[in-house]
């Protein structure tokens, strides 16, 4: 039978949880009572261990207890203080989901990773941070922007990118590297009637990486796919100005540049 210590480490290996442990077994309630309604954790797990595990999850997911725990309606609210929570209640759906995801991650670390032949030391197991990086619902930047484009168009995706970059730049939640918007633009261009939005996002990348030849090449390729040769030539010409000795760019320009009329 798995020991409390081993199970605690397994729980710290959660990969995709909305407040994970918070959702499945919060810290002891009033008066330092032992945790109640533990269904995945050992029922006799000491309160201090439960609290320590939950602190790991809240840090990794950027949430607090109220994300999964319902308000305790039997406790009168106090001005200026957070509402008391009913740690044992299963009223919130996020708590129910969290239990299942906790089981999933424990299975990944105990069964599926060993089956691949990979090392299974604690350092190499998956955990909440592996996917969440401070987000309660982890999503790649590409998917977030594609959702925004489909919902409200290119302008909303531009606004979203700038907002996410302002909030999360320097962290691991999203990739704001030079290639990120280019890849997002290429993916969005595959959506029906969204090539103009894709071009706009690629052009946005030049605000942050103004010497990115890869971005100019992405813009050129997107315009070529849309039949705008003049815009493609303009983008490649700018890329060549940054890298005059780039033979690949030179060859691309020769291939797409309109031939002068012959007399």
Residue 148 and residue 122 share a domain: no
Question: Do both 181 and 214 map to the same domain?
Answer: yes
- 29 or 165, higher pLDDT: 165
| Percent of the chain whose pLDDT exceeds 70 | 86
CATH number at residue 210: 1.25.40.10
Q: Which of 131, 150, 185 is the C-terminal boundary of a domain? A: 131
CA separation (Å) from 205 to 166, 175, 177, 214, 225? 14, 13, 10, 10, 19
Higher pLDDT, residue 148 or 4 = 148
Reply yes or no on whether the pLDDT at 3 is more than 60. Answer: no
| The last residue of a domain, from among 131, 150, 172 | 131
Asked if 174 and 102 sit in the same domain, the reply is no
Q: Provide the whole-model pTM.
A: 0.76
Digit-coded pLDDT (tens) for 22-48? 434 444 444 467 888 888 888 888 888
Does residue 173 carry a pLDDT above 90?
yes
The pLDDT of residue 79 is above 70: yes
Of the candidates 111, 131, 151, which is a domain's last residue?
131
The reply to whether 136 falls in a domain is no
Is residue 82 located within the same domain as residue 198? no
Closest alpha carbon to 238 in 211, 259, 256: 211
* In a domain? residue 262: no
In the chain, the number of structural domains is: 2
Q: What's the domain range around 57?
A: 4-131
Tell me: do 107 and 177 sit in the same domain.
Answer: no
**Same-domain status, 122 and 198:** no
**Number of residues assigned to the chain:** 263
**Are 8 and 99 in the same domain?**
yes
Lowest mean pLDDT among 17-21, 159-163, 164-168: 17-21
**Distance, CA of 211 to CA of 9 (rounded, Å):** 46
For residue 263, being part of any structural domain is answered with no
**93 and 203 fall within a common domain:** no
Residue 189 in any domain: the answer is yes
Buried b (16+ CB within 10 A) or exposed e, 219-248: bbbbbbeeebeebbbebbebbbeeeeebee
């Amino acid at each position: 039978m798995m020991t409390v210590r081993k199970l605690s480490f397994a729980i710290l290996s959660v990969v995709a949880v909305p407040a994970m442990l918070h959702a499945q077994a919060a810290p002891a309630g009033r008066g330092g009572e032992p945790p109640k309604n533990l269904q995945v954790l050992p029922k006799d797990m000491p309160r201090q261990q439960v609290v320590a595990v939950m602190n790991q999850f809240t840090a990794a997911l950027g949430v607090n207890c109220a994300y999964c725990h319902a308000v305790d309606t039997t406790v009168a609210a106090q001005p200026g203080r957070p509402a008391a929570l009913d740690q044992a209640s299963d009223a919130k759906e996020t708590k129910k989901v969290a239990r299942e995801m906790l089981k999933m991650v424990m299975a990944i670390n105990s069964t599926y990773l060993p089956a691949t032949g990979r090392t299974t030391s604690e350092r190499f197991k998956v955990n909440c941070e592996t996917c969440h990086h401070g987000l309660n619902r982890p999503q790649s930047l590409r998917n977030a922007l594609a959702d925004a484009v489909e919902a409200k168009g290119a302008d909303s995706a531009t606004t979203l990118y700038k907002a996410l970059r302002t909030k999360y730049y320097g962290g691991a939640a999203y990739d704001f590297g030079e290639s990120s918007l280019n890849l997002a633009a290429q993916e969005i261009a595959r959506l029906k009637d969204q090539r103009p939005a894709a071009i706009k996002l690629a052009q946005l990348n030049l605000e942050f990486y103004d010497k990115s030849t890869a971005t100019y090449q992405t813009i050129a390729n997107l315009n070529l796919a849309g039949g705008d040769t003049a815009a493609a030539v303009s983008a490649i010409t700018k890329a060549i100005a940054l890298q005059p000795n780039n033979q690949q760019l030179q060859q691309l320009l020769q291939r797409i540049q309109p031939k002068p009329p012959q007399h």
